[in-house]
Amino acid sequence: MHEMALIESVVEIAEEVARQNGARRIIRLRLDIGELSIAEPDALTFCFAAVTQGTMAQDAELEICRVAGRGWCLDCATEIAMSQRFGTCPICGSHQVQVTGGDDLKIKDIEIN
């Protein structure tokens, strides 16, 4: 389960930012996760509870916002919405579609105290 390693890294980054800002604890952590990302939101939520025990983020709320997938069709030069990584262009039917967004995981913001 790679989600455990991902959420461990997210918590480490959040703790570092919290320390740099003189915080005692993390209250809320918001993540943007693309629909085309390999990260599974339910698994991240499950792992978050385990990873945050004994950290500044213990008892923090994890909020996950899904980001739509976007792509660029190389054949018809059109930006398209994507719900799967290897889909076809809805305009021309081409499989020559390059993902341009919605395949990442980002820390949106951190609420500290």
DSSP the chain: -HHHHHHHHHHHHHHHHHHHTT-S-EEEEEEEEETT-S--HHHHHHHHHHHTTTSTTTTPEEEEEEE-EEEEETTTTEEEEESSTT---TTT--S-EEEEES--EEEEEEEE-
Adjacent-strand bridge partners of 110: 29
Side chain identity at residue 20, one-letter code: Q
Whole-number pLDDT of residue 18: 98
28 pLDDT above the threshold of 80: yes
Mean per-residue pLDDT over the chain, rounded: 96
- The CATH label, of 2.40.30.10, 3.30.2320.80, 3.40.50.300, 3.30.300.30, for the domain at 2-112 is 3.30.2320.80
Domain boundaries, given as residue ranges, for the chain: 2-112
pTM, full prediction = 0.87
